Amino acid sequence: MGQCRTSGSPTHFQLLLRVLKVFFHPRFLAGVFFFIFVALTTLLLQYTLAIEAMPCPRPRLGRYGNTHNTPKYVKYKKDMVWLLKSLHIPKADYKSVSVDFYFAYPVSTPKKHRIDNSPAVTRYDLDNLLKGFLDSLQDATVIDNDRAITTILTSKCYTTEPRGRIWFHLL
C-alpha cells in the first residue's frame, strides 16, 4: 500500500524550503544583484565625447632626427585623454569597440542641404581617426593595449549640430 518514510529523509516540501532559504539568503541575493549590476553596466557602456575628431597625422621629423607630432594633435590627444578619464570608464579587457565620428557641416553648406547622420565621404580617413581614438583610450588607461581589440565597427557622419562629437560603445 503506502511506503513507510524513515525519519531521516526529508519530504519534497522540506527540500523546497531548504532551497528557497539558500536562494533568499541576503548574501546570495547581494551576489546576484551585484552580478546583474556588472552585467548591465558592461552592456551599457555607451559614451559621447563633446570633441570633434582629428586624424592621427604622420610624425614630423625634427631638426636633429627626432620625430614628433604636431602641437595641434598633441593638444587634441591630451583633451581626449582628459575627457575619457572624466567619464570614469571601468578598466576591463574590452574586445569590441563601436565608434561613430560626427562632424559639423562646413559653414559654406546651405542649411536646407544639411541632413543629420549623412555620410561624411569627403572627411578624414577612418583608419587615422581610429588610431587617434584607440591611442587615447590606451593613454587614459581604459584599455591595456589597443592590440587586444578584435572587432571594430565605425562610421563617420555629418551632424546638424554646430560642433562635432564622438560616440562610442565598448564591449
Query: Is the residue at 3 inside a domain?
Result: no
Beta bridge partners of 102: 157, 165
114/146 same-domain check: yes
Residue 21 lies in a domain: yes
How far is 108 from 61, CA to CA, in rounded Å? 35
33 and 50, same structural domain? no
Q: What is residue 6's predicted lDDT score, i.e. its pLDDT?
A: 52
Q: What is the pLDDT of residue 21?
A: 67
17 and 59 together in one domain: no
In a domain, 2, yes or no: no
User: Residue 51: what residue type?
Assistant: I
Q: Is there a single domain that holds both residue 161 and residue 122?
A: yes
User: What is the rounded average pLDDT for all residues in the chain?
Assistant: 84
pLDDT of 123 > 60? The answer is yes
Do 39 and 118 lie in one domain? The reply is no
* Amino acid letter, residue 22: V
Average pLDDT of the segment spanning 48-70? 90
What is the total count of domains within the chain?
2
Q: Are residues 65 and 115 in the same domain?
A: yes
Q: How many CB atoms lie within 10 A of CB 120?
A: 18
pLDDT of residue 45: 78
For residue 102, give the 3-state DSSP assignment. Answer: strand
111 and 34 fall within a common domain = no
User: In this structure, are 64 and 127 located in the same domain?
Assistant: yes
Closest-CA residue to 41 (of 81, 87, 79, 102): 87
What are the two backbone dihedrals, phi and then psi, of residue 92, each rounded to the nearest 5 degrees? Answer: -155, 180
> Does the CA dihedral 134-140-142-148 come out positive or negative?
positive
Binned at pLDDT 50, 70 and 90, residue 47 comes out as very high
Residue 1 located in a structural domain: no
Q: What residues make up the domain containing 123?
A: 46-170
Residue 44 pLDDT greater than 90, yes or no: no
Q: What is the CATH number of the domain that holds 94?
A: 3.30.1330.70
Q: Is residue 76 located within the same domain as residue 159? A: yes
Residue 42's contacts (CB-CB under 8 Å, 6 or more residues apart) are 92, 171
Residues 141-166 have a mean pLDDT of: 93
Residues 15, 162: Cα–Cα separation, whole Å: 65
